[in-house]
A and B are shown apart, each in its own frame.
Chain A
Amino acid sequence: MLKVRIIPCLQLIDQSLVKTVQFRKYSYIGDPINTVRIFNELEVDELCFLDIRATVQKRTPNLKILSEIADECFMPLSYGGGVKDAEMAKKILSIGFEKIIINTAAIENPALIMEIAKHSGNQSVIVSIDVKRSIWGGHAVYSNDGTIKTKLNPVEWAKQVEESGAGELLITSMDQDGTWKGFDMEIIRNISEAVSIPVIANGGAGTVSDIGKAVQIGKASAVALGSMVVFQQKGMGVLVNFPDKKELEGELS
């Protein structure tokens, strides 16, 4: 049967690979191509690339870097960042990516989800939802790389994008991002239980046990890893790596 997908989620700022903490402060990781070669060798399940500042810096996706990635990577690839229309989505899919991730563009123009889905299938559209805990409890949805708080309710928004034709959801906790403190299990679970499309839990993974919890308690279908796969340990240097397969299997069985 299907195994849970464990997806390195790599953050780009144009050509550079970076890793953020709570969406703002970031460290430079290195060259994306060298990094993907390592993940290729490790035969990871899938790779996700997010150009985290493309929208706020008003840049279009860097197609040159994406082509170089697709030339090297023989695994499922997804990309998000600065995709505003179906034309751009088509371009990226034709390079050799299978999934387009949209976030701010979906909030500004929800019809875009269906537009991409109609052309390339629902499975090619991932809607990314950035969530942050409110001081008064509950969660809010943020757009534009976490800089703008919207009025959307995360669970309602998740249901709406599913209805609009999204094939998958990427749920990122802004509070947990880069902290190694584990996923925001509450929001992952609330959304997973409200929709029937796969939910990818993102933001906060620090141990293999966090991955297990996201699946068992959070009911996530897939798990994204950020800091864990680019740093040696919390507070330590860059080391592109992937959790031990045996340990993962033990956790997920």
Chain B
Amino acid sequence: MGNLGSVKNMLKYIGAESTITANPVELQDAKKIILPGVGSFDQAMKRIEESGFRKVLDAKALTEKVPVLGICLGMQLLTYGSEEGLIPGLGWIPAKTIHFQADNGLKVPHMGWNIVTPSTPSPLCEKLPEESRFYFVHSYYVKVENESCSILKTYYGLNFDSAIQRGNIYGVQFHPEKSHKLGMQLLRNFANLQ
């Protein structure tokens, strides 16, 4: 997953201007950044490192502190690293990315609609009902080191962190761009962040 087209479609629908870029220079002007994440963990990290995106991303996220939203693999990239790969992640949020175990009858990937419940209040989750339904497709899940970085949790054989935040940096495991009105609300919340 990691569908740039769908994310852009939804942003357009809610009236948020966006550009898809493969050029790190263009990223310098961004007021907010969405990392959808395409392919596998190592592939994505390699592309970030080799394309010159890493330096700009670090500057934007850590120094300039513009809001960043990682979606699905994009969220996993925010962690220290993943069992899916060998290359370290961006490490912006103290967390690890772990493989789902396919035992006790659970199918992997975790695919379909599932419930998220708030663990720590966050501006990203404003106006979301206590139990919200979002669409997931993933084989790896994120576990935060410090519970204060977990903002939403979901149960799939175990409780995992379905949304995380540290300051201006946010990640969601589900696909807001594929989650109807609640997904739209979440992206609108992100678009409205100062």
Say whether A186 faces chain B, with CB atoms less than 8 Å apart. Answer: no
Which residues, 101 to 146 on B, are CB-close (under 8 Å) to A?
A: 107, 109-114, 135, 137
Contact B180 A3, beta carbon cutoff 8 Å: no
Contact bitstring B161-180, A, C-beta under 8 A = 1, else 0? 00000000000000101111
Q: Say yes or no for A70: interface residue by CB 8 A criterion.
A: yes
**Residues of A in contact with B, size category:** 20 to 34
Which single residue of chain B is at the shortest CB-CB distance from A95?
A: B5
Distance between Cα atoms of A198 and B111 in the complex (Å): 9
**A46 to B111, alpha carbons, bound, how many Å?**
12
Are A121 and B1 in contact, with the CB atoms below 8 A?
A: yes
Chain B positions within 8 Å of A221 at CB level: 107
Residues of A close to B6: CB separation below 8 A: 70, 74, 96, 98
User: Is there contact, CB below 8 Å, between A74 and B107?
Assistant: no
Residues of A within 8 A of B183 (CB): 74
Q: Answer whether residue B184 sits at the interface, using C-beta atoms and an 8 A cutoff.
A: yes
Chain B residues closer than 8 Å to A70, beta-carbon distance: 5-6, 9
User: Which B residues are CB-close (under 8 A) to A122?
Assistant: 109
Q: Is the CB of B9 within 8 A of A75?
A: no
Please, how many residues of chain B have a CB less than 8 angstroms from a CB on the other chain? 28
- B179, A123: Cβ atoms closer than 8 Å: no
Given known pairs A5-B112, A121-B1, A123-B1, the reply for A75 and B156 (CB within 8 Å) is no
- Bound-state CA distance A47–B155 (Å) is 25
As a 0/1 sequence over residues 76 to 120 of chain B, the CB contacts with chain A under 8 angstroms (1 = contact) are: 000000000000000000000000000000010111111000000
Residues of B within 8 A of A5 (CB): 112-113
**Minimal Cβ-Cβ distance residue in B for A40:** B180
In whole angstroms, what is the CA distance A121 to B135 when docked? 17
Contact of B4 with A by CB under 8 A: yes
- Residue pair B180, A74 in contact (C-beta under 8 Å): yes
Which residues of A (1-53) have their CB < 8 Å from a CB of B?
1-3, 5, 40, 43, 45
Cross-chain pairs A/B with CB under 8 angstroms, 24 sampled: A1-B156, A2-B112, A2-B156, A3-B113, A40-B180, A70-B5, A70-B9, A71-B9, A74-B9, A74-B10, A74-B180, A74-B181, A75-B178, A75-B180, A76-B135, A76-B178, A94-B5, A96-B3, A96-B9, A98-B178, A121-B1, A197-B107, A198-B111, A222-B112
